[in-house]
Amino acid sequence: MDSVSQLVEYTRPGDEKYLIVTGRGSKLRTNFYPPMEFESTSSGYEIALLRIETYFSFPNINNSNNCLRISIDRGQNWCEIEIPIGCYEIDSINDVVQGFIMEKYGEKEKEKHMIFVANKNTLKCVLEIRDASTIVDFKIENSLRTVLGFNARRYQKKGKFESENIVNILNVNSILVYCDIIAASYLNGIEAPLIYNFFPNVSPGEKIVSQPKHLIYRPLTMNVITSMTSWMTDQNQKALNLRGEELTLTYHIRKRR
């Protein structure tokens, strides 16, 4: 086939479909009535993900890492703190902790006894204890220490204590998008119906709109599609917790070229 014929072949109108699936949560199942049918050809059809819309709602603080104990009277009484599930940075964690201290001991006690601050150079957290009677206890179940990088111990005496480990404030490194009607890709050497991966370029709580700069089409595995399931996980294939937020995925199906 000469170059002109190739151009005509590639620009000739063909069967194309845009699919928009939407729902709440990170796993969406869509049933098609009637089923989508594609003619059986030697080349077949392929699909690409055009756009993702949702919110940066997946939490880094949950029931497994949200607890802290503080005493301001050398351990005679304790303030038990459970940070609400959500998306936090170190300064917002500190704000919540100070709120608990104010509620228990009064507004004048805010940031009087201890604070958490980030060390952006070392990627660690600094606990500053501001009076000798304060104790911060990380030796409890579901401790906040796993996020802030501290060891399982009690910190006391006036001074600054830098976490022994790098903070784990963001446990999602990449968001993976799957679709069960495509030929498998490979994830860590294992076949998986992976169609796209990305990380949001917005802050927690903001709207995510991700559009691939270069579309990558994957072959469809069937000519008649009665249903399709799409889902998202983190880099460890753990289901992404969108906390009930809306997820919208836009796909494009075309004849393979």
Which pLDDT does position 11 carry in this prediction? 38
Question: By percentage, how much of the chain surpasses pLDDT 90?
Answer: 82
Query: In this model, does residue 257 exceed pLDDT 90?
Result: no
User: In Å, how far are 39, 114, 257 from 42, measured between CA atoms?
Assistant: 10, 69, 11
Which pLDDT does position 13 carry in this prediction? 41
Domain extents in the chain: 12-58+172-255, 67-162
Q: What is the mean pLDDT of residues 125-142?
A: 96
Q: Assign domain 12-58+172-255 one CATH number from 3.40.50, 3.30.70, 1.10.3470, 2.60.120.
A: 2.60.120
Query: In this model, does residue 10 exceed pLDDT 60?
Result: no
Q: Three-state DSSP class for 4?
A: helix
Which pLDDT does position 154 carry in this prediction? 96
Which pLDDT does position 41 carry in this prediction? 61
pLDDT in tens, 20-36: 999 999 999 999 999 99
Measured distance CA(76)–CA(57) in Å, rounded = 38
Sign of the torsion angle spanned by Cα atoms 93, 95, 100, 104: positive
Q: What is the mean pLDDT of residues 164-185?
A: 93
Q: Residue 40's pLDDT band (boundaries 50, 70, 90)?
A: confident
Which pLDDT does position 169 carry in this prediction? 87
Measured distance CA(95)–CA(93) in Å, rounded = 5
User: Is the pTM for the entire model greater than 0.85?
Assistant: no
How far the first Cα of the chain sits from its last, in Å, is 14
Which pLDDT does position 4 carry in this prediction? 39
Q: What is the mean pLDDT of residues 130-155?
A: 96
Which pLDDT does position 48 carry in this prediction? 97
pLDDT in tens, 203-248: 888 999 999 999 999 999 998 999 999 999 999 999 999 999 999 9
pLDDT in tens, 68-84: 999 999 999 999 999 99
Regarding predicted confidence, which is higher, 14 or 229? Answer: 229
